[in-house]
Amino acid sequence: MIPGWTSQRVLPPCDSDDPTSSERSPYVVSAAEFVQKFATSPARNIILEGFLDFRKALNSIGIVQGFQWVDGSFVEDVELTRNCSPHDIDVVTFYYSADGLTQNVLLSCYPYLFDPRLAKKQYHVDAHVVELNVSILDAIENQTTLVNQTAYWYSRWSHRREDLLWKGYLQLDLLAENDPTAPGTPSQAVQGNLDQATDQGGQP
């Protein structure tokens, strides 16, 4: 379940009534819940459509195990606080890859998915990745790197850059097979608003 906005119109970082509870950011939600919460305008829906396509593209190359942390102005009420729409969606994909598919190999073969500039242009996703193929048998350096990367993204995304406001964000499973694409799911609203934006001369 996605919690409601705080008074600053961001997601709460934790339960204010029980701040040491495990019910805290990142909040684990389904793609359907995510779309239902944030499919509120043509501008947002264009970004959502790109994000869903990005998830499908990752799955299509075998990146199906893991999860994504989703953050940025897209999960804030910027329409009210800044009088503007979000421009993209910030995503860190924590993934298990097949043997031999290192981050360097993936970037070389699929730059449109793993180069943040290209992913943003094609999918409206500011994309970053962390590989999870680290076991207790790996070198200590590899284990330490994974912990450091996770701590970095948690720390960076738990605070808004411009004013260091503590805030929450969301976590989605990486497998996209249950994403809302069938008739009667929230994606219909996404497509309808995309068509509306196009009819009105909007640009993705």
Structure tokens at 80: 């009210």
For the chain, how big is the Rg over CA atoms in Å?
A: 17
Torsion of CA 114, 115, 118, 119, to 10 degrees: 40
Helix (H, G, I), strand (E, B) or coil at 166: strand
CA atoms within 13 Å, Cβ hemisphere of 131? 18
pLDDT at position 1: 87
pLDDT at residue 132 in the model: 87
Q: What is the pLDDT of residue 181?
A: 57
Q: What are 71's strand-pairing partners?
A: 90
The rounded average pLDDT for each run of 10 residues, N- to C-terminus, in the chain (204 residues) is 94 92 93 93 93 95 94 96 95 86 86 95 95 69 86 93 93 94 43 48 43
What's the pLDDT at 204? 40
DSSP state of 73: G
Question: What residues does 27 pair with on adjacent strands?
Answer: 170
For residues 137 and 5, give the distance between their C-alpha atoms in angstroms, rounded to a whole number: 43
pTM, 2 dp:
0.84
How many residues make up the chain in this entry? 204
pLDDT in tens, 139-196: 677 788 889 999 999 999 999 988 999 999 999 999 999 898 533 344 444 545 444 5
Q: What pLDDT does 57 receive? A: 95
pLDDT at 78: 96
Q: Are 169 and 25 contacting, i.e. CB atoms less than 8 angstroms apart?
A: yes
**Integer CA distances (angstroms), 145 to 59, 107, 116, 138, 167, in order:** 25, 19, 21, 11, 25
